[in-house]
């Protein structure tokens, strides 16, 4: 294991003896640049992010996390925290510093009696679904099974169950968190309640969450799938989608997207998920979505919830280059639909997508200060998501996302979805926290006054 490239914040090499002591304290793996596992360990889902940490610690449990935090603090080393899945902004890595990697901490324990599930911080949505499905339960997560629970939850978390049960962060009962000073705290509505409030939507600013206790819900078989229309019908389909969602029951979440089919044909996708108990009722409710125009494909049927949770996995493979922009809009007016249809013409990669996601429902009935997740009033989120493989095309794809985002700004709210922020979006972070920002800066000053946890959607401590 090499120590030459692990540096402190001043750029000085960390002594080899200190690294050796850390290695002796760790039950997991300590990986340096000369180790065979290093290249694999430093690569993440988004290939646009290419950083070279000085050291990577793959933790086996909370004690390893504490040891790594204490080492970094004592040696003034920059720290990034990696969970179990993907993150478009690449904040799980840092150059020259230490990556605390939780991806081996994937334990899941379900208590069917209380309908709760204890999940380690490195688990993915697929890990949790596999266990909860045995008991006919599900946790409201995202839409890609390879997503890590940690980053998703801390940033809010929206997915197929968001309309019925709210964002992921509203379903967190308790967390175990390692603080910057190395202490381990339990955070729930009664114990360290302000810390629990901040962690539920405040990103990775307040510590490393080594386990979550979630409220699960009775969801087993859903009615879902894909309906694909021609791209030329996008305007008509999106207007029909908007009118449909205005009266859709909260058992039904539906996303829309301007995408390409696997053979490269431009299409307009409608993706429904009915989580109600009556599956026949779900089929009836979804039927109008198959009649918005002449569909190219209708593949909607009852399926296990884990199958629905992974239905889009193939559209987001590892190793591609990604850059995301997003905006919230109220009501999806005709002008926004026209902009979406026009801007989609600028997507030059068949892997790219322009998504329209409706979140209206349970989460929106709570106050913006229910927890740190403030984005509860704007019901539609528009996501511009170019995806490509050739590094020489970086500039053009990023420019498209930015210009498409600019085009929609006259109709956008001031909010952002925290988990959709790409690298370099630092000025959008304050807006993502909305009216909760000042309270979050005060809590940051209390729990992390030195901004030890800075490689995230960062909140600077209040003076």
Residue with tokens 């204890």: 118
Domain boundary among 77, 101, 125: 101
Co-location of 304 and 404 in the same domain: yes
Q: Which of 448, 463, 422 is nearest to 72 (CA)?
A: 448
- Whether residue 139 sits in one domain with residue 88: no
pLDDT (average), residues 81-106: 95
- When divided into structural domains, the chain yields a total of 3
Q: Give the distance, in angstroms, between the CA of residue 352 and the centroid of all CA atoms in the same chain.
A: 18
> Looking at the structure, do residues 295 and 238 belong to the same domain, yes or no?
yes
Q: What is the 3-state secondary structure (H, E, C) of 152-187?
A: HHHCCCCCCCHHHHCCHHHHEEEEEEECCCCCEEEE
Judge if 89 and 129 occupy the same domain.
no
**Tokens of residue 95, six digits:** 């150059």
379 pLDDT band (50/70/90 cuts)? confident
Closest CA to 26 of 64, 83, 55: 64
94 shares its domain with 133: no
Indicate whether 4 belongs to any domain: no
Task: Determine the pLDDT at residue 405.
Answer: 96
Q: How far apart are CA 173 and CA 397, in angstroms?
A: 40
The answer to whether the CB of 408 falls within 8 A of the CB of 416 is: no
Could you tell me which residues come within 8 angstroms of residue 130 by beta carbon, excluding any fewer than 6 positions away?
108, 306
The model's pLDDT over 166-186, given as tens digits with 9 standing for 90+, comes to 999 999 999 999 999 999 999
Q: Which pTM was predicted?
A: 0.96
Choosing from 192, 218, 244, the residue where a domain stops is 218
Same domain for 136 and 34: no
Beta strand extents in 359-448 (DSSP E only): 380-385, 387-388
CATH number of the domain that 94 lies in?
A: 3.30.43.10
In the chain, how many H helices and how many E strands?
A: 14, 18
Are 140 and 212 in the same domain?
A: yes
Given phi > 0 = left and psi -120 to 50 = alpha, else beta, which region is 361? left
| Per-residue confidence (pLDDT) for residue 338, from 0 to 100 | 98
Does residue 164 sit in the same domain as residue 235? Answer: no
Res. 5: pLDDT tops 80: no
For 381-400, write each residue's pLDDT tens digit: 999 999 999 999 999 999 99
Rounded Cα distance, 171 and 187, in Å: 14
Query: Among all chains, which residue has been given the structure tokens 């692990």?
Result: 6
State yes or no: pLDDT of 205 exceeds 90. yes
Q: Judge whether 26 lies within some domain.
A: yes
Does residue 203 have a pLDDT over 60? yes
Domain that holds residue 303: 221-426
Would you place residue 1 in the very low, low, confident or very high pLDDT band (cuts 50, 70, 90)? very low
Specify whether 37 is located in the same domain as 173.
no
CA torsion angle 336 338 340 346 (round to 10): -140
Residues 361/377, Cβ–Cβ less than 8 Å: no
Q: Say whether both 65 and 148 belong to one domain.
A: no
Residue 74 within a domain: yes
The domain that holds 281 is classified in CATH as 3.40.462.20
Residue 283 in domain: yes
Q: Give a yes or no: residue 448 inside a domain.
A: no
**Whole-number mean pLDDT of the chain?**
95
Q: Which of the four pLDDT bands, split at 50, 70 and 90, describes residue 3?
A: very low
Q: Is residue 339 part of a domain?
A: yes
Same domain for 346 and 244: yes
Alpha carbon 454 to its chain's center? 18
Q: Residue 425 pLDDT more than 90?
A: no
User: For residue range 47-64, what is the model confidence (pLDDT) as tens digits?
Assistant: 999 999 999 999 999 999
């Amino acid at each position: 294991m090499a120590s030459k490239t692990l540096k402190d914040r001043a750029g000085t090499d960390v002594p080899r003896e200190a690294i050796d002591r850390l290695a002796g304290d760790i039950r997991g793996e300590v990986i340096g640049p000369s180790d065979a596992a290093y290249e694999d360990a430093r690569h993440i889902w988004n290939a646009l992010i290419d950083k070279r940490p000085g050291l990577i610690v793959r933790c086996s449990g909370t004690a390893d996390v504490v040891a790594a935090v204490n080492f970094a603090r004592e040696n003034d080393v920059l720290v990034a925290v990696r969970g179990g899945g993907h993150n478009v902004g690449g904040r799980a890595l840092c150059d020259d510093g230490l990556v605390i990697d939780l991806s081996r901490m994937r334990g899941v324990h379900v208590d069917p009696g209380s309908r709760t599930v204890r999940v380690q911080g490195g688990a993915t949505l697929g890990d949790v679904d596999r266990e909860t499905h045995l008991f006919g339960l599900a946790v409201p997560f995202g839409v890609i099974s390879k997503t890590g629970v940690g980053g998703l939850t801390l940033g809010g978390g929206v997915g197929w169950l968001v309309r019925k049960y709210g964002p992921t962060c509203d379903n967190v009962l308790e967390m175990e968190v390692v603080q910057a000073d190395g202490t381990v705290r339990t955070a729930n509505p009664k114990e360290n309640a302000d810390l629990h409030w901040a962690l539920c939507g405040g990103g990775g600013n307040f510590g490393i969450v080594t386990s979550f206790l979630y409220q699960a819900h009775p969801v087993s078989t859903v009615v879902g799938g894909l309906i694909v229309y021609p791209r030329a019908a996008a305007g008509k389909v999106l207007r029909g989608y908007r009118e449909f969602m205005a009266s859709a029951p909260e058992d039904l979440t539906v996303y829309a997207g301007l995408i390409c089919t696997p053979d490269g044909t431009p299409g307009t996708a409608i993706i429904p998920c009915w989580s109600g108990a009556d599956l026949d009722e779900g089929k009836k409710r979804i039927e109008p979505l198959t009649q918005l125009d002449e569909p190219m494909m209708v593949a909607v049927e009852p399926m296990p919830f884990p199958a629905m949770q992974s239905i889009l996995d193939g559209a987001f493979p590892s190793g591609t280059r990604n850059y995301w922009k997003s905006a919230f809009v109220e009501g999806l007016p005709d002008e926004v639909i026209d902009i979406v249809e026009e801007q989609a013409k600028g997507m030059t990669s068949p892997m790219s997508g322009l998504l329209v996601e409706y979140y209206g429902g349970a989460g929106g009935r709570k106050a913006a200060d229910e927890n740190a997740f403030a984005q509860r009033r704007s019901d539609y989120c528009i996501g511009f998501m170019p995806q490509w493989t050739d590094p020489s095309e970086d500039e053009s794809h990023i420019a498209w996302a930015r210009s498409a985002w600019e085009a929609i700004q006259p109709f956008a709210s001031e909010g952002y979805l925290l988990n959709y922020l790409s690298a370099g979006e630092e000025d959008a972070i304050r807006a993502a926290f909305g009216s909760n920002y000042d309270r979050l800066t005060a809590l940051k000053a209390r729990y992390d006054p030195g901004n030890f946890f800075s490689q995230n959607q960062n909140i600077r401590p209040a003076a």
